[in-house]
């Protein structure tokens, strides 16, 4: 896809700019049906010393012919193997929309297997894991209803939604991602020992302030919530503010990790 770097030997990782030689890394998870191109703006805005890596799931972009993953348990297990090579420096996890739930479950997975935990978790436009509407059934909607649902969120280009051939290629991955999100078996557990920063919008139909504040229960460290005016589109409209906050808080969290390691 235009704007992407040459393919990595790891099919799960996409790079939107050359790998950084810095000692910080941000691993990003896109919204349902999304791919690496979701974070093209991050490549422009993040400081050069933060290594930007975007998770590319099966069933989209260069992995279009692969069957998508449909269950969270399977997905985080696969991610545990695929992302291991990236966890050699302090790293943050950034999840947009349904990708935030995947980032959270991956952080829990790392804790359960005594893997290297993230320094920080960033959740954007997603209800807290305990408050996800798991009976909403978006993954099983009829095609017209699914298109209507995606149109209301405004995160999928109209060209895809209004072009039958393009939507037919896109549909399996977005349904699979919604199934991962809606059938996630959330279990109560001790909060994560890392800071969580949440970003949301006052008019976003997919969240409310209480569901965003619910993330506070998932951390034993610092919690912050930033609210922007507008709807789900704040991810693009307010991107520079968002990426500035992420880079600053990732640096702070990484410094704390290095201090704890001394």
Span 58-70, pLDDT tens digits: 999 999 999 999 9
* Closest by CA position to 147, among listed 132, 162, 129: 162
Q: What is the pLDDT of residues 131-148, one digit of tens each?
A: 997 767 788 788 889 889
Whether residue 247 contacts residue 255, with contact meaning beta carbons closer than 8 Å, is answered with no
Average pLDDT over residues 6-25: 85
Whether residue 218 contacts residue 225, with contact meaning beta carbons closer than 8 Å, is answered with no
Dig out the tokens for 242 from the structure.
Answer: 């968002």
Dig out the tokens for 213 from the structure.
Answer: 């504040």
What's the CATH number for 13-261?
3.40.50.1820
The domain ranges of the chain are 13-261
pLDDT number for residue 261: 65
pTM of the model: 0.93
How many angstroms separate the CA atoms of 168 and 29, rounded? Answer: 23
**Higher pLDDT residue, 153 or 2?**
153
């Amino acid at each position: 896809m235009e704007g992407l770097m040459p393919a990595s030997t790891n099919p799960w990782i996409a790079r939107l700019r050359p790998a950084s030689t810095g000692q910080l890394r941000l691993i990003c998870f896109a919204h349902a049906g999304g791919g690496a191109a979701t974070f093209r703006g991050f490549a422009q805005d993040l400081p050069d010393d933060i290594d930007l890596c975007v998770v590319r799931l099966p069933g989209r972009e260069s992995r279009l012919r692969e069957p998508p993953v449909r269950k969270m348990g399977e997905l985080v297990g696969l991610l545990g193997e695929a992302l291991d090579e990236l966890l050699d420096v302090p790293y943050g996890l950034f999840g947009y929309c349904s990708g935030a739930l995947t980032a959270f479950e991956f952080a829990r997975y790392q804790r359960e297997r005594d893997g290297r935990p993230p320094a920080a978790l960033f959740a954007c436009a997603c209800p807290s894991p305990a408050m996800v509407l798991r009976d909403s059934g978006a993954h099983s909607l009829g095609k017209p209803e699914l298109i209507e649902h995606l149109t209301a969120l405004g995160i999928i280009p109209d060209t895809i939604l209004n072009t039958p051939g393009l939507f037919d290629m896109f549909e399996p991955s977005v349904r699979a991602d919604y199934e991962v999100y809606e059938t996630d078996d959330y279990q109560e557990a001790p909060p994560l020992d890392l800071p969580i920063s949440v970003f949301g919008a006052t008019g976003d139909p997919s969240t409310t302030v209480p569901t965003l504040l619910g993330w506070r229960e998932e951390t034993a460290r610092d919690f912050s919530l930033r609210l922007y005016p507008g709807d789900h589109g704040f991810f693009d409209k307010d991107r520079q503010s968002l990426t500035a906050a992420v880079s600053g808080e990732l640096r702070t969290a990484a410094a704390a990790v290095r201090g704890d390691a001394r």
